[in-house]
Structure 1
Amino acid sequence: MAHTDGFDIVRLDETALDGALALSEEAGWNQAADDWRIFFRSGVVYGLREGDAIVATGAILPYAGFGWISMVLTTRAARGRGIGTAILKQATADLAELGCVPVLDATPAGERIYRPLGFLPVAPLWRWRGTSPGSGDVAAGIAQAGESDRDWIIARDAKAFGAPRADLVASLIERAPALALVMPAANGFVLARPGRAATSIGPVVADDEASAVALLEAALAIIDGPVLIDVPEGRTGIEALLTRHGFTKERPYLRMAHGRAEPFGSPDTLFAIAGPELG
């Protein structure tokens, strides 16, 4: 694909799935094979090979007006050589060529790399981790999404997120239909997906936080086991619910955009993101 900072970065196809999955597993990340397939099928996966091994990856998901950068991973043995930064530069350049503002969710360590490259802070987030007992009690007014709900969920997600991502939303519904819940009275929904080690909840979208709390409570009532959820800072109702259920803050993220500090979409209706890798 390109020689960036002296590295021969190539575009990977789905035959590289096992190698990519091995990288995210080595890093302790929660992505399952189906998560990687989203990038192979709807975006671009970059890689650096040394011999037969994939030693680094990165990915983009182009949307309308902006695009997501994620899955920037390097094996432990290959770290410290600037490979991840080279892949990030390639991803940023490719999105700019498509007319998309590059956006990402940065860890504190990543933030120090991204700021000098022109990424500006947009919004802080927190990763919460806990275990849900799965009580099975779902409040009135909340139901499992049916086929007739799919179009409005996709439209509502697009308004909150800032761009249509119909294939992604449809794949989340199909992967965990029992966890695709709707609250039509509040234009609200919650989606979730099984990961390698925990269920990831998100996005959670609703007109108001009380409705978002009810939707999240319903999802937790169904899930029995480890859970991850990424919440914009300042969602006090969501935070109180998670604290009540024994969840703890694991790490901060900072949403950043290249050359832009304004958020996309309608962040006041977004109470949990799909994940730092998906936006």
Structure 2
Amino acid sequence: MAPTEPITVERLDAAALAAACSLSQQAGWNQTAEDWRIFFDQGAVFGAPAGAAPVATGAVLPFGSFGWISMVLVSSAERGKGLGTAVLRRCMAELAALDCLPVLDATPQGERIYAPLGFLPQLPLWRWRGEGLGPDADDGGQVDQADPEALGAIVAIDAKAFGAPRRQLLAGLMQRAPAQALVLKNGKGFVLARPGRQALQIGPLVAPDEASALALLKAALGRAEGPVILDVPAAWQAIAAHLTASGFRQERPYLRMALGRSAPFGDPMSMFVIAGPELG
């Protein structure tokens, strides 16, 4: 049913954190309060309010010439009223005001909404889910633990692959999951992770080639216990084969899309696992 009054979308402050967490939990998503704080601290969160708490949200993270749209959520009781589209358009307007091209990772359901708005496909992805492999996993001796001094090199490697520097984001990930903060001994790649509400999310993982990426992935999985999820570009068949052999399963596809642009940012040939559809 179409709304009878215009939908007012407001910028939210950290007082809405609990309500935002409730929406992502209701949707069965993996984000924690720490994930939501990334958007409040480094970007912006918007909501359509109903009383004291928003029933729909969307978030943006600016990254220089482009910016991420994510966390577009609507309470199950309020769907079908145009709230999600209203919040999405507010996020697009915020990025336009910052001269940032909107980018997002869409589910198949979301793709049907974003394509008519002018979003073009850039990169197909798959969400994988499984269990950590434990200390018997073999990385071939190519990987070291990342110490705090490695952050500068990690930021530079990531910026080339992703298309923009994101130092604050990566520094936070290193602190949240230090056991999975790993670098190649030759200094040409890294992997990070973050604990989630349901599973450890591994990514981003950047490397010069798929063999090096596999060494990092094996090391990260070997340091993980319990449920693990990761989002992998569909092109990486050796990684897909290793995950399948390790008991992981493909859960759902995503499609990276950008407003009016089909060419990916950065160097997708060196991005083997993304940070997650909400972070890019």
TM-score interval for Structure 1 and Structure 2 normalised by the shorter chain:
over 0.9
1:104-119 alignment runs, 5 A limit: 104-119=104-119
1:197 deviation in Å?
Answer: 0.6
TM-fit CA distance, 1:136: 4.9
Q: 2:137 touches 2:221 (CA, 8 Å); kept in 1? A: no
CA-to-aligned-CA distance 1:62-117 (integer Å, 9 cap, x gap): 11100000000000000011110111111112211211110000000000000110
2:145 aligns with 144
**Superposition deviation, residue 138 in structure 1:** 5.2
Map Cα deviations across residues 169-209 of structure 1 (whole Å, 9 max, x no partner): 00000101111000032601010000001000000100000
TM-score, normalization by structure 2 = 0.96
- The aligned counterpart of 2:213 is 212
Q: Which residue of 2 aligns with 1:43?
A: 43
In structure 2, the residue matched to 1:92 is 92
Does 1:131 find its partner at 2:131?
yes
Aligned mates of 1:257, 1:33 — CA distance in 2: 27
Matches within 5 A, 1:198-209: 198-209=199-210
Aligned to 2:256: 255
SS in 2 for 1:234: coil
Runs of 4+ aligned structure 1 residues displaced above 6 Å come to none
Is 2:229 aligned against 1:236? no
My pick for the range that moved more, 144-153 or 184-193, is 184-193
The 1:157/1:237 distance shift into structure 2, 3 A limit, reads: same
> 1-side partners of 2:64 and 2:51: how far apart?
37
Q: How many matched pairs?
A: 275
Query: Residues 180-199 of structure 1 correspond to what in structure 2 (within 5 A)?
Result: 180-185=181-186, 187-199=188-200
1:132 deviates by 1.7
Structure 2 counterpart of 1:121 = 121
CA drift at 1:133: 3.5
Equivalence for 1:59: 59
Counterpart residue number, 2:171? 170
Contact 2:183 2:189 in 1 (8 A): yes
Q: 2:80 matched to which residue of 1? A: 80
Q: Which letter maps to 2:146?
A: A
Tell me if the contact between 1:159 and 1:265 (Cα under 8 Å) persists in the aligned partners: yes
Partners of 1:138 and 1:96 lie apart in 2 by: 46
Matched residue of 1:228: which SS? strand
Instruction: Specify every segment of 5 or more residues in structure 1 that has no aligned partner in the other structure, as ranges.
Output: none
What one-letter code is carried by the residue in structure 2 that aligns with 1:254? L
Spell out, residue by residue over 1:37-65, the C-alpha distance to the aligned partner (whole angstroms, 9 max, x if none). Answer: 00000000001111123201000001110
Question: Is 2:65 the counterpart of 1:68?
Answer: no
In the aligned structure 1, how far is the partner of 2:112 from the partner of 2:132? 34
1:252 aligned partner, one-letter code: P
Please tell me whether the aligned partners of residues 145 and 180 of structure 1 are also in contact (alpha carbons under 8 angstroms): yes
TM-score (norm 1): 0.96
Q: Could you tell me which amino acid in structure 2 is paired with residue 171 of structure 1?
A: G
C-alpha displacement at 1:141, in angstroms? 2.4
Structure-2 separation of matches of 1:38 and 1:222: 25
Paired with 1:78 and 1:195, the residues of 2 have a C-alpha distance of: 26
AA partner of residue 71 (structure 1)? M
AA in 1 matched with 2:6? G
Equivalent residue for 2:154? 153
CA distance in 1, matches of 2:136, 2:79: 45
1:186–1:206: 8 Å Cα contact kept in structure 2? Answer: no
Is the 2:16–2:53 contact (alpha carbons within 8 Å) kept by the matching residues of 1? no
